[in-house]
Amino acid sequence: MSLDAETVRVPSSPALLGEIIGLPVHITEAPGIQPLPWEGVIADETLHTLLVRRTGSTRLRRVPKKGLRATLVKDGDEVPLIGEVLRVRPEDRTKLLAMGGRRRFR
């Protein structure tokens, strides 16, 4: 399923409301990342990337949101994570999710 240059509706998943920094993540698809899959903890987030600390390492890896497929673990529940849907400024994500906002990708 290609999401490039399409209008994507931001999901209203309550699990994505609030911070995702510090949550465990299991990455199954990511451009330029090999070997996959791998697990880690989200250390930081920008408009286009996630900064992830791989399990068992102190090194941080910048993972582009475009093309990212992962599973986020929040409050014991696994939440599917699609990078293109999260391509919003972290400070605006809660607002967009709560309002059911739309985003057009460039």
| CATH number of the domain that residue 12 is part of | 2.30.30.210
**pLDDT on residue 13:** 61
83 vs 11: CA distance, rounded Å: 12
**pLDDT on residue 7:** 40
26 assigned to some structural domain: yes
User: For each of the chain's 106 residues, which pLDDT tens digit applies?
Assistant: 444 434 444 444 666 667 889 999 999 999 888 888 989 999 999 989 999 999 999 999 999 999 999 999 888 888 888 888 788 777 777 776 666 655 544 4
Domain that holds residue 68: 7-96
CB atoms within 10 A of CB 47: 12
**pLDDT on residue 67:** 92
88 assigned to some structural domain: yes
102 assigned to some structural domain: no
Its pTM stands at 0.76
Number of domains in the chain: 1
